[in-house]
Structure 1
């Protein structure tokens, strides 16, 4: 009973989505698709890189605290100086004064013990330091713009990926709808073959048909049933792929029209909407920024720094009485580095020229691709209409030959040949519609009809 209750409560969670509409699927795709989630994470990382690059304008503030213990003569004397506690005794003054009263006179030769052999001393130092770039020849500003452009580029990448996933989702919906229709037609064909089989059996009982006729009809029915089962498997595979895209189990969809609508093509809007063109234009701007970065290597850099701190043999003891500060400014200007800067600048200029040509190529290439797809779609439209007529004709011919078979005018092979022609035209029509829809969705992706990010 307990196991039954667990299953009962968990069943709604395991059940797949039913009668899912295309618009609902696209909304779910934008929120649930794992590849899109990963792409959004890449966007966030690029945004943080932009913030990090812009943060360089504000300099760097550090706080440090250190503790040391030493009996090294140089260290101990330095500790005392930093703690503002050095005195003449540290130089051996007391020992020298004592030697003045000696019968042998002042001792100028013996090293002072207090200076060379000091007692072990603790040293604690706390510092606050701040470094600020005042002038970098525009490097920091360009780095900030470049990272900002790279963040924008990641958004274009996400939009392009989203268009691709919408393409795949729409295609899955239309594929399932087409296969459903194909399965429906196959089931009618199987029914017609079964009906023909009954006719052959009746005619055989009356001596008007041979056993080979019945076997031939049964073989054709087996062939049609095999195609029927294969179509169902293909539909299941399409559902599995749709579930993968949405990251949620889908059991059934609301069927769409078998023919996807043709998008409106506005040449003036193509350049401003197409993602590949926008990425190429953005890449061109980045190369311009990169040239400015290389030109900045010929300019000086100026930076300021300040430091405040205190030191003592006890942590934070008499901090204000023993504090100190240091401020300064530094100018650095590279005069010669073997022509490296010149080579890098020329390389950036060549890259800029290359990307200019890539932009022109992207514009002409995308325009040509749109024209090609438009022509192919129009051609497929004409082919679909043609095969729809052929299918209607093939069905009429089959019905005619079936009636003539009853009258003994034609053989069962003739009837099955006409039925085979109907099946052939049906399959070709399905393929044409699928190819046409695929090109429609590809065109939609290029036009970026969903709008910019």
Structure 2
């Protein structure tokens, strides 16, 4: 949107405020901070609390991998006990029960095979980590589009202030001419009052526009974490989209983060089925134990130190239908994940087509609005001159002024809407984060 007039379509240079910057504080002594759209992106990503939430989900998934991996590692435990008996007992001269005893045991256990469940659990944890990392990127995209809307909202609100200021100047010119004509007797009091009412209405519209501008800047300030005056620079015009609609859909299905997360959920559910199948298989584990016992007094057949190893094989036979129920649940979750992935694909295709049509509609009206603005400006200048010479009524001037203001506002809104529609289409295609990241890297 640089190198040409943004508002009147005439090709003349835009005003400095419209072409270069919009000021956060309309009046203030502090120097304004310059802010580009890339700067706003960077600051929003660094300051948004939602990014912390998404990153914590990744941390939790990383710890879940640690938990899953712990199941394939050996366990080492130690146990000690002290027992006090009511009395010592002897039989035939042999001491069978002491007065007290102590025991200390160290056990090393290792699962050799558990139906593959431990490895299935680890694969699920790794897939969840990949999914949650995609969630971080997905949150980045949401923050980028939210920031873009706020940024272009500031630009639109600032340009609206300029339009309303120009409308107020025109209304005051109308009033001054009406007052001058009334003094020489070529206008009526009603015409002057109509011009006064128009000027008052224009002043009220300007006040409302300035408040809306401040509200827009408050939102941008909240997203970026900036304080004080800010100059928001006009970004360059987004390049047009040249790919056909259906090819955009194909790109979206391959690159959209939510589609990749849906496929990851499906893979996690498939691993859940494998885990449930492991409940039907035997498990094998080994144990190594060292045990030491002391008694007071010592019994006749006490073995103080014992060291042994054992192998345990468990095979489930009947558990009340629990394993079958868990397997059915896992298969149901897999079918649900497959359905959700198919539904997400249809939703993504719809979103891309809607975003594409919205962009085409936004771009199509710009040329019409440029022509409308040119006609409205020429009409206003002609009607105002006619009014100055007594050839037109105040109603004609008010009508021409309203038409001109409406045309300026419509063209401004259409141009910013077109820029946002391009970004929304890129988001619906799943390429906004990559392209914005490359742009921010170029700015650094």
RMSD over aligned CA atoms reads 2.7
Deviation at 1:263, TM superposition (A): 5.1
1:26 to 26, 36, 41: 41
SS in 2 for 1:451: helix
Displacement after TM superposition at 1:115 (Å): 6.3
Report 1:191-230 matches (<5 A).
191-230=169-208
**C-alpha contact (below 8 Å) 2:170/2:401 kept by paired residues:** no
Superimposed CA distance per residue, residues 180-218 of structure 1 (whole angstroms, 9 cap, x where no aligned partner): 222112211211111221111111111122222222222
Q: 2:86 aligns with which of 69, 72, 84?
A: 72
Tell me the residue number matched to 1:276.
258
User: Contact 1:370/1:443 (CA < 8 Å) preserved in 2?
Assistant: yes
Listed one character per residue, the Cα deviations across residues 145-165 of structure 1 (whole Å, up to 9, x for unaligned) are 111111111112211111010
Residue 282 of structure 1: CA displacement?
A: 0.9
Q: Does 2:113 align with 1:91?
A: no
Larger radius of gyration: 1
Q: Report the 3-state secondary structure (helix = DSSP H, G, I; strand = E; otherwise coil) of the residue aligned with 2:71.
A: helix
Runs of 4+ in 1 over 6 A off after TM superposition: none
Hey, what does 1:411 align to over in structure 2?
Answer: 393
The alpha-carbon deviation at position 303 of structure 1 amounts to: 1.7
Structure 2: state its 5+ residue gaps.
Answer: 1-29, 297-302, 438-444
Structure 1: distance between partners of 2:70 and 2:34: 51
Which of 335, 339, 357 is residue 375 of structure 1 equivalent to?
A: 357
User: In structure 2, how many angstroms separate the alpha carbons of the residues matched to 1:54 and 1:140?
Assistant: 8
Matching residue of 1:63: 78
Q: Which runs of 5+ in 1 are unaligned?
A: 1-14, 78-89, 97-113, 315-320
Q: TM-score if structure 2 supplies the norm length?
A: 0.81
Relative to structure 2, which stretch is displaced further, 214-223 or 162-171? 214-223
Mapped to 2, the partners of 1:260 and 1:28 lie a distance apart of: 21
Do structure 1's residue 172 and structure 2's residue 150 form an aligned pair? yes
Correspondence for 1:163: 141
Aligned length: 396
Distance 2:313 2:96 in 1: 39
Quote the Cα distance in structure 2 between the aligned partners of 1:175 and 1:330: 69
Give the conservation status (yes or no) of the 8 Å contact 1:174–1:258.
Answer: no
More strand by share: 2
Q: Contact 2:37/2:235 (CA < 8 Å) preserved in 1?
A: no
Cα deviations by residue, 1:19-55 (Å, 9 ceiling, x for unpaired):
1122122222222221101211111111111121112
Asked whether the equivalents of residues 46 and 151 of structure 1 are also in contact (C-alpha less than 8 Å), the reply is yes
Alignment of 1:13-52 (within 5 A): 18-52=33-67
SS of corresponding position for 1:330: strand
- Per-residue CA deviation, residues 358-415 of structure 1 (Å, 9 max, x unaligned), is 3233233322321221122111111122112212211211111111111211110111
Range with greater deviation from structure 2 (333-342 or 183-192): 333-342
> Which is bigger in relative contact order (C-alpha 8 A, separation at least 6)?
2
Q: Describe the shift of the 1:324–1:218 C-alpha distance in structure 2 as closer, same or farther (beyond 3 A).
A: farther
Structure 1 residues 262 and 49, CA gap change in structure 2 (3 angstroms) = farther
For the 8 Å contact 1:174–1:257, the answer to whether it is kept is no
Select between 56-65 and 403-412 the one with higher mean Cα deviation.
56-65
CA distance in 1: counterparts of 2:218 and 2:251, whole angstroms: 36
